[in-house]
Amino acid sequence: MSELTLVVLQLGFLILLWVFIFAIVYALRSDLFGQRVRKLQPETATAAPAAASAFPSSPVPAAAPTAPVSTPTASGGAGELASSSNATRLVITSGAKSGVEFPLGRDEITIGRSSDSAIIIRDDYTSTHHARLMLWNDRWMIQDLDSTNGTFLNGSRVTVPTPIPLGATVKVGATTFELRR
Amino acid sequence: MTDHAATGRVTTAGDGGAPARPATPPSGIRRIRIPQKLRNLEFWLLIVACFINASAIVLVQLGALGRIDTQLVLLGAGLSVLVFGLHIAMRFVARDADPFLLPIATVLNGLGIAMIYRIDIAEGDAGWESAAVRQIAWSAIAIICAIATIFVIRNHRVLFRYTYLAGLVAIILLILPLVPGLGQSRGGAQVWIGFGDIATFQPGEIAKIALAVFFAGYLVRNRDSLSMVGKKFLGMQFPRARDLGPLLIVWALSMSVIVFQRDLGTALLYFGLFLVMLYVATSRLSWVVLGLSLFLAGAIIASQTLDYVGNRFANWLTPFSDERFNADPGGSYQLVQGLFGLANGGLIGTGWGQGRPDLTPVPQSDYIIASLGEELGLAGIFAILALYLLFVARGFRIGFAGQDDFGKLLGVGLAFVVALQVFIVVGGVTRVIPLTGLTTPFLAAGGSSLVANWIIVALLLRLSDTVRNHPRLVIDG
């Protein structure tokens, strides 16, 4: 085996090692740079991401809500806080999956674009790790995880972990939901 | 599986999930699971990993012997079979586990074996005398332990029940080396157990897992009293004096490891682990400040009173002085040889089998980083550190995405213990901090360390599987 072949093989080994590392980094890029926004409708695909903030002027798909706060389902005793005993389900009240509901367990519910969230919302307004719902002393709280566009409880922006009243509207991106009995 | 697309896509937990979940999903809920996508990714990465390991051994033989000896390549191939065994086991019991941990651990383990084999060649060891053969045997045992862990622990919350048992086990494991007749002393450190010369084991390595479980369980139960009350001082909220108990106990434990077991690195590892988990649990910087000042005070007192600690500090500060270099017990000869080795390696190294890593004392265990640095160069060392970085980042990620506080703390604790161990070893070899004897995770020769680190891999895999394994709703806006 000539000296040169050996040197080339040794260099090849180092390159292989780094290729392996970059293969891993490439495979987990969504962790590093956030989940890519997936454009489904061709109309929205034409709108540049920057233009997406100009919400009313851009072509809005039929499913998207224009005034999410105006959901008429302000049921439940006003002021009664959702706890593990009186809230049993989470209902999506507007957005692409309006009407869908699922049972609340005792587990924390993470919301965001990341694929390991409990509720995955893929739209232009949701951050990778946007917000989470958790039980504190048996009470359901909403916490904003430093999202770009904010989380809103009954129209006001959530800054600190806040208890959620039953039937109150929580807005994340273009989706709103409520906790119900 | 029926299609409920009209009512939205909701998934439920997999088959192996917690029994509390309803067996039949309510209406409007159906399972979507991209079939084994993560496992397929892992499969391809593992193929690359095993190829890297095989080529490392072949290159060692070409570089050091000038020919290819198939025996060790075959032994290495046997190990690859076991790694794929773990992969197949995960396809059944941990389908949603993280796909990167196993390939990274495999490459690190394989690089370690290749370097140990290279040093065997330099020292003329073969057969059962050869550290590389023993390392392969231990790796096999370690991977089998990992497979067993993944099968036995189906849900990490089980560990929460055994919090105090884990604490007790950790203490017993720490005391074992001090038992007369059972304990053995090597290089001054009393951290080994064994009967005669065979089957020596370092119980402290397993103790770090037990401690991580104990700390996680303990902190989840008691964190309110540790984080809520206290006086504000210098912009930080300090805990009440009576809540200092746990910190002082762990500090006393680490100090006794320094004094009785003469092992600086292990003490630093346990104490650092506790501090970080305390910080993550309470998010109070004051605990870190208090803990670090306690540890520094302890270390300074130890460096004044204990000879071996004082020597370590002197070697760290002035390794190149004639007096330190020639001091026979506790001189800086090893440290300096390691630094010369690293310098000899340069940017791309001398190549496998072409350097002289055997000039440094214990090049296959404590100093394996210097050996690898010599033969693979800065490019290789950075690749190895990048692998550790990815491993630890995955661990933190698993902790971050965890659904329950115990799982979060345990994930962070296990990942951090690997990170801190790498820092202590590499920092010691490269003269960033005083040199302390610890094994480099996955790389260094030593069975107990391999077993412990592969169990950590299994626990992280289990945690990551439970993290992804929960009801979810997908809304495509």
Q: Are B118 and B61 in contact (CB under 8 A)?
A: no
Q: Which residues contact B419 (CB under 8 A, 6 or more apart)?
A: B388, B392
Indicate yes or no: CB of B471 within 8 angstroms of CB of A105: yes
Chain B residues inside the 8 Å CB shell of A124: 477
- Ranked by mean pLDDT, the top range of B62-76, B197-211, B258-272, B361-375 is B361-375
pLDDT digits (tens, 9 = 90+) for B424-477: 999 999 999 888 878 899 998 888 899 999 999 999 999 988 876 555 677 765
Indicate yes or no: CB of B472 within 8 angstroms of CB of A120: yes
Indicate yes or no: CB of A99 within 8 angstroms of CB of B59: no
When CB atoms are compared, the residue of A1, A21, A126 closest to B62 is: A1
Q: Which of A15, A17, A26, A108 to mutate to test the interface with B (most CBs of B within 10 A)?
A: A17
Model confidence band, residue B16 (pLDDT cutoffs 50, 70, 90): very low
When CB atoms are compared, the residue of B352, B470, B477 closest to A118 is: B470
CA distance A61 to A123: 12
Chain A residues inside the 8 Å CB shell of B10: 100, 102
Give the pLDDT score at A57: 39
pLDDT digits (tens, 9 = 90+) for B102-111: 999 999 999 9
pLDDT digits (tens, 9 = 90+) for B177-213: 777 766 666 666 666 676 555 556 788 888 999 999 9
Closest C-alpha to A100, from B449, B469, B5: B5
Cα of B139 to nearest chain A Cα, Å: 21
Token pair for residue B262? 């003469």
Q: How far is CA B87 from CA B40, B74, B103, B136, in A?
A: 10, 20, 10, 18
Sign for the CA dihedral angle at B407, B411, B414, B420 comes to negative
Chain B residues inside the 8 Å CB shell of A175: 475, 477
* DSSP states of B208-247: HHHHHHHHHHHHHHHHHHHHS--EEETTEEEPPGGGGHHH
Model confidence band, residue A35 (pLDDT cutoffs 50, 70, 90): low
Cα of A148 to nearest chain B Cα, Å: 17
Lowest mean pLDDT among A3-17, B225-239, B402-416: B225-239
Which residues between 57 and 116 in chain A have a beta carbon less than 8 angstroms from any beta carbon of chain B? 64, 92, 95-97, 99-103, 105, 107-108, 110, 116
- Ranked by mean pLDDT, the top range of B55-64, B199-208, B253-262, B282-291 is B55-64
Phi, psi angles (nearest 5°) of residue B376: -105, -10
CA distance A125 to A102: 23
Measured between CA atoms, the residue of chain A closest to residue B59 is: A10
Measured between CA atoms, the residue of chain A closest to residue B42 is: A24
When CB atoms are compared, the residue of A21, A103, A124 closest to B26 is: A103
pLDDT digits (tens, 9 = 90+) for B24-43: 444 444 444 545 778 888 99
CA distance B239 to B227: 7
Give the pLDDT score at A72: 41
Which residues between 333 and 362 in chain B have a beta carbon less than 8 angstroms from any beta carbon of chain A? 348-349, 351-352, 354
Which residues between 155 and 174 in chain A have a beta carbon less than 8 angstroms from any beta carbon of chain B? 173-174
Mean pLDDT score, A12-23:
94
Q: Is the pLDDT of residue B322 over 70?
A: yes
CA distance B87 to B95: 10
Give the pLDDT score at B383: 95
Mean pLDDT score, A49-78:
40
Which residues between 414 and 433 in chain B have a beta carbon less than 8 angstroms from any beta carbon of chain A? none
For chain A, say whether B21 makes contact (Cβ under 8 Å). yes
* DSSP states of B79-139: HHHHHHHHHHHHHHH-TTS-SSHHHHHHHHHHHHHHHHHHHHHHHT--GGG-HHHHHHHHH
Helix (H) or strand (E) holding B56: helix B37-64
Tokens 């550190």 sit at which residue? B385
CA distance B341 to B361: 12
Tokens 């990993």 sit at which residue? B49
Give the pLDDT score at B286: 81
CA distance B322 to A135: 64
Mean pLDDT score, B217-245:
72
Residue B376 three-state SS? helix
Give the pLDDT score at B202: 82
In terms of pLDDT, which residue wins out, B434 or B329?
B434
Cα of B327 to nearest chain A Cα, Å: 38
Burial label, B209 (beta-carbon count in 10 A; 0-12, 13-18, 19+): buried
pLDDT digits (tens, 9 = 90+) for A82-135: 887 888 888 888 887 788 887 777 777 888 887 777 888 888 888 888 888 888
Indicate yes or no: CB of B100 within 8 angstroms of CB of A24: yes
Give the pLDDT score at B7: 38
Indicate yes or no: CB of A21 within 8 angstroms of CB of B390: yes
CA distance B236 to B36: 47
Measured between CA atoms, the residue of chain B closest to residue A135 is: B404
CA distance A167 to A170: 9
Indicate yes or no: CB of A14 within 8 angstroms of CB of B352: no
Indicate yes or no: CB of B352 within 8 angstroms of CB of A10: yes
Phi, psi angles (nearest 5°) of residue B268: -60, -40
Q: What is the count of residue pairs from A and B with beta carbons less than 8 Å apart?
A: 137
Measured between CA atoms, the residue of chain A closest to residue B96 is: A116
Indicate yes or no: CB of A107 within 8 angstroms of CB of B403: yes
Give the pLDDT score at B326: 79
In terms of pLDDT, which residue wins out, B451 or B330?
B451
Give the pLDDT score at B59: 92
- Quote ipTM for the complex: 0.84
**Percent of chain B scored above 90 by pLDDT?**
32
Mean pLDDT score, B341-359:
88
Q: Are B247 and B290 in contact (CB under 8 A)?
A: yes
In terms of pLDDT, which residue wins out, A58 or B191?
B191
Q: Is the pLDDT of residue B56 over 90?
A: yes
